[in-house]
Copies of this chain bind each other. A is one copy, B any other.
Amino acid sequence: MNIEKAIDKLKEKGYKRTKQRERILEIFSEQDQGYIPAKTILKEIQKDFPGVSYDTIYRNLYLLAEEQVLESTELDGEKHFRFHCDTHGHHHHFICTGCGKTKAVEFCPMDKIAQSLDGYAVDDHKFEIYGKCPGCL
Contacts and interface: CB of A to CB of B under 8 A. Distances in A.
Interface of A: 74, 77, 94, 96-97, 103, 105-107, 109-110, 112-113, 116-117, 119-134, 137
Copies of this chain, how many? Answer: 2
A90 to B, nearest CB: 14
B131 A121 contact: yes
B121 A94 contact: no
A107 B125 CA distance: 14
Contact of A107 (B74, B94, B116, B130): B116
18 contacts: A74-B77, A105-B116, A106-B116, A107-B112, A109-B127, A117-B131, A119-B134, A120-B131, A120-B133, A121-B131, A121-B132, A122-B131, A123-B131, A124-B131, A125-B127, A125-B128, A126-B126, A126-B128
